[in-house]
Amino acid sequence: MKKLLVLFLTLASASLSHANLKFFGGVTDPGIYPGQYPFSWPDTLFTQEPYNQATCQDSTSEYQIQSDVNAFDGPTNLGWGPLDEFYSWTRSHNFIMTWYGGYGASVTDKWGDGRFSGKWVQAFTNWVSSAARHCPGVEYINFANEPMHGRPNGAFAQAFGGAGDTGYDWIINVGKLFRKYFPHSQLGINDFQIESVANDLPYDTKNGTGKTMLPQFLEMVKALKAAGVIDWVGLESYSLETVSSANFTAALNQIGACGVNVILTEFSPDAYVYPRNESKRLADWQRLVTAAQQNKYVIGITGPWTFRKTDSVDQAWIVDDSVTPAQDSLTMTWLKSYRFADTPTSAIPVQRSRASP
């Protein structure tokens, strides 16, 4: 039986021409491995602020749970616990859940190539089929995280077909695997260095500071869309303080024109600006959120990736919980201007439906 929750989020500073935004979410984790992120779960901030969606960090990912082809206890022995707890929490709180459950460019090859060798297809198929029993109704799945920055010639990619005829057969075959075991979920991929049509991105790459990879990304999206394995694509959206709103909007339009929805998956404007300039960051949040809200292809925003100061040493945080009581940044204070509204004339209608397990 499907459940439907209609929420209205209002943003006083934005004039909204579209009503496609389905969620505004945050990032948390019920069981991150010790030593990286001091964390308290469940996080009451999510029930107090304007959130109706959540993404979990590393402890629910494949490399943290899978330790062998037929064993699931991971390198830190957390097992299925964090995924079960996070999934249960989103169900009980009527939250949309986005799950990073697929290939991860920064970890999958490093974690599994030596361990699984010629057994990658067996190992990963077993992982996906087993995970489907733990979170069958998850709404959004990122089945390939940062594939443009991965290893297309690595053992994992080659096991799943390598480049093949499309140039992206390995990603397509992973998508088909998730489509088989999660028929009710919305599937997507996630990457960075694609958030602008111009070379004004904040990334310092081997190809030159700020060089966009949007043309390559569009080629990949078109191939995956034609194969029927993606419903949405994710733009990580870190920093972006150097990106103009016009170039950002143009990138959103080019991606959406491929026939996919767009989610800003790790939205963290000014995350790596040192020294921290809170007024500048607030201004970037306001202009980029407004641009995303007004774009007809964007259905969700999740961020920042680490919203508590004690979560990380980077600058993404918007709540300083290193002091007692915890203090909101200017950005979090602004986010609290979101309010549930009674009339659609001043609000974004946010529809949430959950497929039955």
Domains along the chain with CATH numbers: 14-338 (3.20.20.80)
What DSSP element (H or E) covers 352?
Answer: strand 348-354
pLDDT range class, residue 314, cuts 50, 70, 90: low
Does 40 score more than 60 pLDDT? no
Does 24 score more than 70 pLDDT? yes
Residues with Cβ within 8 Å of 172's Cβ and at least 6 positions away in sequence, in order, are: 161, 164, 166, 223, 224, 227, 229
From CA 107, how far away is CA 197, in angstroms rounded?
28
What are the DSSP calls for 215-282, one per residue?
Answer: HHHHHHHHHHHHTT--SEEEE--EE-TTS-HHHHHHHHHHHHTTT-EEEE-S-EETTT-SS--HHHHH
Radius of gyration of the chain (CA): 19
End-to-end CA gap in the chain? 9
Contacts of the segment 175-180: beta carbons below 8 A, 24+ positions apart: 175/143, 175/144, 175/224, 175/227, 175/229, 175/230, 176/227, 176/229, 177/124, 177/125, 177/128, 177/143, 178/101, 178/102, 178/128, 178/141, 178/143, 178/229, 179/228, 179/229
Q: Give the chain's mean pLDDT.
A: 83
Find the range with the poorest average confidence among 207-216, 228-237, 273-282. 207-216
What 3-state class would DSSP assign to 327?
A: strand
For 44-56, write each residue's pLDDT tens digit.
Answer: 777 766 788 999 8
pLDDT range class, residue 206, cuts 50, 70, 90: low
Average pLDDT over residues 99-110: 92
CA–chain centroid gap for 357, Å, is 22
Does 83 score more than 80 pLDDT? yes
Q: Regarding predicted confidence, which is higher, 354 or 162?
A: 162
From CA 39, how far away is CA 32, in angstroms rounded?
8
pTM of the predicted protein model = 0.87
CB neighbours of residue 316 within 10 Å: 25
pLDDT range class, residue 118, cuts 50, 70, 90: confident
Burial class (CB in 10 A: 0-12, 13-18, 19+), 345: exposed
Does 260 score more than 60 pLDDT? yes
For 220-231, write each residue's pLDDT tens digit.
Answer: 999 999 999 999
Identify the DSSP state of 100: E
